Every structure is written in C-alpha cells, then in structure tokens.
C-alpha cells in the first residue's frame, strides 16, 4: 500500500474534483447566472452599508470604510467553507436516503472523500469581490502596505476561515443524530450574518457568547481589529490561529464520530 | 359551480401549509435572529446619529417599519420561482399546464391558501407582539384598514413578479441564480432592507417610480403615517393598482408567450 502523504491526498482530490467540474460545465448558463447572483448578493450587502452611511455618520464609531473592510474580510474568510466544504449542505439528504453508506466503504478517509466530491466554483466570485472590498477599504483607510501586514492578513484570513468551516461541519453533522437537522444548518447560516458587523454593537452578554460559546467573533471581527484598531487588540486575538485549528479539529472529530456510527438505512 | 373550484384549491393550499409546522417554526426563529441583529445595528446607528429623529423617523418608527417589512416579506414569500423552476426541470409542470384552469390562476389559488395560513401563524403574532413591545406607538385607526387593503394589493403584485421570474426559469437552466437575484433586487428596492426614507433623494425618486416599492413600502407608509390626507392615501393605493394592472398584463403576456416554446423532458 502506498504511503498516505499529503501529495497522495492532493492527487486524489484533483481527480475527484475534475469529475465535479466536468458535470458542472454541462450547465454552463447556470454557472454564470449563479456567479452573477452570488456577486449581486454581495453588492446588495455593500449597497445597504452605503445607503445607511448616506444619512448616518457612523455605526458605533465605525466608518464606512471600516465596515467595508469587515464585510470584505468576512466574505474572503467564508470562501474556503463555501468552495471546499459545500457538500455539507447535501449531507442531510445523503444520510436520509442512505446514499451516504457508499462513502463508508471507500478505502480512504470518509470526511476527505465526502468533501472532495463538490467544489463550489461560485464561491470564487464571492472571494474576488471580498478581496476587492478589502483592498479598496485598505487604501482608503491608509493602512500601511508592507510585507508584514500582508502576511498577517493571510494568516488572519486563514485562521478565521477555520472557524467558518468548523461551524459548518458541526451544524451539518447534526443530521447524523437528528431528523430535522436542516434546522441547525439554516440557523447557523443565519447566525453567520452577525459576523459581518462589529461585535461592539451587541450587548455584553451576546459579546461573551460570540467569543466563548459560538465563536462568531473570530470569523471577521477579531482578526480585522489587527488592521483597523491595533490599539484595541487583546491577547485573545493573537490566539485566533490556535483556537481555529483546535475548533476545526473538534468539528472534524464530531463529524467523523457521526459518520463512523452511521448504520445506513438498510437499502 | 365555478367558485367551488377555486375554493377547493385554496383549501388544499391551507392543508398543505399546515403540514409544514417545523419549517414554519424555523422561519420564525430565523426571523427573530434577523430582527435581533437589525435591532442592535439600528440602535448603534441611532446612537451615533446624535439626534432622535432622522428624516422624520425615530428609532422605534424604524424598527416598526423593518419588523413589519420582514413580516410582510416572509408572509408573501411564495417560493413560486423555486417550485416552477424545479417543476420545469423534471417535467411535472405539464400536469398543471393541462388542468382546465389557466396556470397563473391555478397557482394563485393554491398559493393563497398557503398565504392565509402564514398570515395567521406568522404575521398576526408578529403584529400583536410589536404592538405591545412598542407600547402603543402604532396608531389604531383607519390606517389599519388602509394597510390591510394596500398589503392585499402588494400580495398580488408580488405574486406576479414571482411568476415573471419563474417564467424566466423556462429559458435558463438556473434556478438558484435567478432567484437569488430576484431576492436581492426586491429586498433592496422595496425598502425591506433599509427604509426608503433613508435613501438619498435622487435614488429615492427613481425607486419610487419602480414597482418594487409598491410591495413593502406602500403598505408600511400607510400604517405609519397617520397624518396622510385621503388624497395622499388615494395616490399611494392608486399607484399600487396601476402597477398591479401593468405587471399583471405584462406577466400574463410573457407567460403565454413562453409556455408555447417550453420543452419538457419527458414528464
């Protein structure tokens, strides 16, 4: 048996991915319209900030460009979850219908195989939009453009994205135990909207909940502080990468626990 | 008898909707999360504004407007374009097209049954809760009558817009993309996301000439502005009726044109 190196997994991933892209490309019109739709949603998000800032000077001391930065950051950090882990949204149907059992028989990690089956291309449109928003806000805010800050931004985005993925994994894995699991997934998706705004607008109780119970704050707000309000950064922010890895690992374990306990539907 | 035909379709819609209790609860919970988010956001926005009244709206006016906007939005959401899209894809639409009743009318009757249930289960509780939460800031008088009248017209306008979008799905393979674009456009231009009074003057003037404001903004304006004269009320409702007729005719023409060239895969 071949040794399971990272390169081995990457090769397999690309092979499975190619099949998905091929099947998607047979619905080319759908792909283009979906991408435009995705970008339209994001434009609407920015447009609503812009409209608010036409009448009001700030949101809790945050100006338009700072809000734009936060919004763009949340879009970029959501991209890995959107592109690479989107199959989580289908998990419920597969578990319910019994199709999920096929993944359990493959001689490869179930989680890896399941996730590699779908690559959501339209997430890339969202990513590009987010990058443009962050770059525009970056220039307008006059944040120094250095090698160090770019590196920090990349690390910050990657750590934040781990939280988005982990919450998606956890919410999706609820379907291994619950029948009406779409509840959890839809609610967690709705909660993600809270990540697009500064945590300071919420009451202290919610702020604590979003820091220690449901880690919404790490998806965009805390990492963004590194660039927007360096003086407000607390030690918690520097731990984001470690928390992110730990939380992702936890979600992986929970997901796998559900998957390995899955006994099929008997069909 | 002719009436009983429509009556039984409406009844069917009521029974169908009553089956989906869990998803009704989910809609309410998601809506509450959304309302919680906008409550904190607008509170922070008003706190930074420095004055209590902005563009003639106090904080509680804004909240009443947005809560009712989201209640109306949810209550009117008919998922037509989604259902039509998937019915076209798998060919089921042919059964409904062959019925001895025009398809748009058939769909409208079936969906108004759903809407009656949603009105009682989600809209009414919201209205009662809001009334008590804001401590009688909603004036009880003729404005309620105008609101109900106007909202009924909104419902039909919204139906036609949805049917129009559903018909577009006959041409494109895309369902998700088309729908998400419709939701974005209606969400912003109807005033459901941000009250239209906060739009800059030039943009508001343009938006007021579009049909979307007749869905959400018109009924809410009639509810909140008790000082409007009969002439102003007549103007708002008149404009709604004009849009209703224009869009109704346009939509019917487009549907009849498209249905001739529909190709259904088997079915």
Cβ-contact A223, A240 below 8 angstroms: yes
pLDDT tens-digit series, residues B75-123: 887 778 777 877 777 777 888 888 888 888 888 888 888 888 888 877 8
**E-assigned strand segments in chain A:** none
Q: Do B43 and A201 touch (CB under 8 A)?
A: yes
CA distance B69 to chain A (A): 15
Q: For residue A190, give the nearest of B34, B40, B46 by CB distance.
A: B34
What is the average pLDDT value for chain A, to the nearest integer?
A: 88
For chain B, the distance separating the N- and C-terminal CA atoms, rounded to the nearest angstrom, is: 31
Is residue B267, in this structure, part of any structural domain at all? no
Is residue B132, in this structure, part of any structural domain at all? yes
Report ipTM for this prediction. Answer: 0.82
Q: Do A190 and B30 touch (CB under 8 A)?
A: yes
Closest chain A residue to B188, measured at CA: A44
Query: Which residue has better confidence, B22 or B32?
Result: B32
Q: Do B181 and A193 touch (CB under 8 A)?
A: no
Q: Summarize the confidence of residues A102-110 as an average pLDDT.
A: 86
**Residue matched to tokens 């997994």:** A9
pLDDT tens-digit series, residues B212-258: 999 999 999 898 888 888 899 999 999 999 999 999 999 999 998 88
How many angstroms separate the CA atoms of B244 and B154, rounded? Answer: 8
pLDDT of residue A77: 94
Q: Do A48 and B193 touch (CB under 8 A)?
A: yes
Q: Is the pLDDT of residue A2 over 80?
A: no
What is the average pLDDT value for chain B, to the nearest integer?
A: 84
Q: Do B177 and A47 touch (CB under 8 A)?
A: no
Is residue B138, in this structure, part of any structural domain at all? yes
Q: Summarize the confidence of residues A13-39 as an average pLDDT.
A: 83
Determine which of A32-41, A72-81, A179-188, B146-155 has the lowest per-residue pLDDT on average. A179-188
pLDDT of residue A72: 94
Q: Which residue ranges make up each domain of chain A?
A: 6-261
Q: Which among A42, A59, A74 is the top mutation candidate for probing chain B, defined by the most B β-carbons within 10 Å of its own β-carbon?
A: A59
As given in the structure block, the two tokens for residue A103 are: 């993944």
pLDDT of residue A242: 92
Residue A57 with chain B: CB contacts under 8 Å: 48-50
Q: Do A41 and B180 touch (CB under 8 A)?
A: yes
Q: Which range has highest mean pLDDT (A175-179, B50-54, B171-175, B181-185)?
A: B181-185
A130-157: b or e for each residue (b if 16 or more CB lie within 10 Å)?
bbebbeebbeeeebeeeeeeeeebeebb
pLDDT of residue B52: 84
Is residue B108, in this structure, part of any structural domain at all? yes
Q: For residue B45, give the nearest of A59, A190, A202 by CB distance.
A: A59
pLDDT of residue B246: 95
Q: Which domain holds residue B163?
A: 2-260
Q: Which among B168, B184, B189, B195 is the top mutation candidate for probing chain A, defined by the most A β-carbons within 10 Å of its own β-carbon?
A: B184
pLDDT band, residue B264 (cuts 50/70/90): low
How many angstroms separate the CA atoms of B26 and B195, rounded? Answer: 25
pLDDT tens-digit series, residues B59-77: 888 888 898 898 888 888 7
Determine which of A140-154, B113-127, B140-154 has the lowest per-residue pLDDT on average. B113-127
pLDDT band, residue B263 (cuts 50/70/90): low
pLDDT of residue A224: 92
Determine which of A111-120, A187-196, B135-144 has the lowest per-residue pLDDT on average. B135-144
**Residue matched to tokens 């409702």:** B237
Q: Do B177 and A34 touch (CB under 8 A)?
A: yes
Is residue B43, in this structure, part of any structural domain at all? yes
Residues 193-232 of chain B whose Cβ lies under 8 A from any Cβ of chain A: 193-194, 198-200, 203
**Residue matched to tokens 């401590």:** B135
Q: Is the pLDDT of residue B267 over 50?
A: no
CA distance A127 to chain B (A): 17
Q: Do A33 and B178 touch (CB under 8 A)?
A: yes
Query: Which residue has better confidence, B266 or A209?
Result: A209
Is residue B38, in this structure, part of any structural domain at all? yes
How many angstroms separate the CA atoms of A239 and A144, rounded? Answer: 23
pLDDT of residue B206: 93
State what percent of residues in chain A have pLDDT above 90: 36
Q: Is the pLDDT of residue A217 over 80?
A: yes
pLDDT of residue B3: 61
How many angstroms separate the CA atoms of A146 and A117, rounded? Answer: 38
Q: Do B200 and A51 touch (CB under 8 A)?
A: yes
Q: Do A186 and B26 touch (CB under 8 A)?
A: yes
In chain B, how many domains are there?
1
Is residue B237, in this structure, part of any structural domain at all? yes
pLDDT of residue A246: 94
Is residue B266, in this structure, part of any structural domain at all? no
How many angstroms separate the CA atoms of A18 and A140, rounded? Answer: 40
CA distance B192 to chain A (A): 11
Point out which residues pair with A59 in neighbouring strands: A62
């Amino acid at each position: 048996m071949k040794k399971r190196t990272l390169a081995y997994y990457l090769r397999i991933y690309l092979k499975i991915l190619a099949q998905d892209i091929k099947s998607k490309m047979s619905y080319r019109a759908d792909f283009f319209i979906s991408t435009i739709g995705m970008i339209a949603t994001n434009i609407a998000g920015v447009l609503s900030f812009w409209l608010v800032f036409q009448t009001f000077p700030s949101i809790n001391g945050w100006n338009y460009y700072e809000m734009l930065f936060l919004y763009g950051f949340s879009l970029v950090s959501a991209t890995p979850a959107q592109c690479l882990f989107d199959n989580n949204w289908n998990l419920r149907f597969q578990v319910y219908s019994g199709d999920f059992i096929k993944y359990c028989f493959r001689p490869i990690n179930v989680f890896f195989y399941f996730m590699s089956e779908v690559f959501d291309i339209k997430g890339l449109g969202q990513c590009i939009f987010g990058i443009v928003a962050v770059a525009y806000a970056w220039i307008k805010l006059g944040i120094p453009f250095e090698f160090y800050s770019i590196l920090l931004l990349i690390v910050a985005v990657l750590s934040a994205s781990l939280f988005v993925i982990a919450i998606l994994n956890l919410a999706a894995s609820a379907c291994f135990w619950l029948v009406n699991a779409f509840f959890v997934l839809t609610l967690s998706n709705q909660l993600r909207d809270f990540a697009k705004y500064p945590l300071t607008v919420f009451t202290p109780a919610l702020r604590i909940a979003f820091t220690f119970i449901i880690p919404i704050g790490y998806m965009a707000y805390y990492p963004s502080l590194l660039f927007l309000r360096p003086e407000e950064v607390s030690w918690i922010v520097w731990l984001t990468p470690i928390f992110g890895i730990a939380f992702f690992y936890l979600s992986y374990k929970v997901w796998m626990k559900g998957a390995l306990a899955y006994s099929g539907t008997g069909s | 008898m002719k009436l009983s035909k429509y009556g039984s379709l409406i009844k069917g819609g009521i029974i169908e909707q009553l089956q989906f209790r869990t998803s009704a609860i989910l809609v309410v919970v998601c809506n509450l999360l959304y309302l919680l988010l906008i409550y904190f956001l607008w509170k922070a926005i008003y706190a930074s504004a420095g004055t209590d009244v902005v563009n003639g709206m106090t904080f509680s006016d804004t909240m009443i407007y947005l809560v009712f906007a989201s209640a109306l939005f949810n209550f009117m959401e008919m998922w037509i374009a989604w259902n039509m899209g998937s019915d076209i894809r798998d060919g089921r639409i042919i059964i409904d097209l062959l019925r001895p009743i025009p398809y748009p009318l058939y769909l409208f009757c079936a969906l108004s049954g759903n809407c009656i249930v949603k009105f009682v289960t989600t809209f009414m509780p919201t209205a009662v809760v809001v009334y008590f939460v804001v401590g009688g800031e909603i004036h009880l008088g003729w404005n309620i009558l105008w609101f109900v009248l106007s909202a009924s017209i909104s419902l039909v306008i919204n139906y036609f817009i949805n049917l129009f979008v559903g018909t577009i799905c006959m041409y494109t393979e895309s369902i998700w993309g088309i729908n998400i674009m419709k939701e974005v456009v209606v969400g912003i231009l109807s005033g459901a996301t941000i009250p239209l009074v906060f739009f800059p003057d030039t943009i508001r003037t343009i938006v007021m000439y579009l049909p979307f404001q007749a869905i959400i903004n018109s009924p809410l304006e009639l509810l909140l502005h008790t000082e409007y004269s009969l002439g102003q009320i007549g103007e708002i409702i008149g404009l709604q009726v004009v849009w209703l007729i224009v869009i109704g005719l346009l939509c019917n023409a487009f549907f009849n044109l498209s249905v001739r060239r529909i190709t259904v895969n088997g079915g």
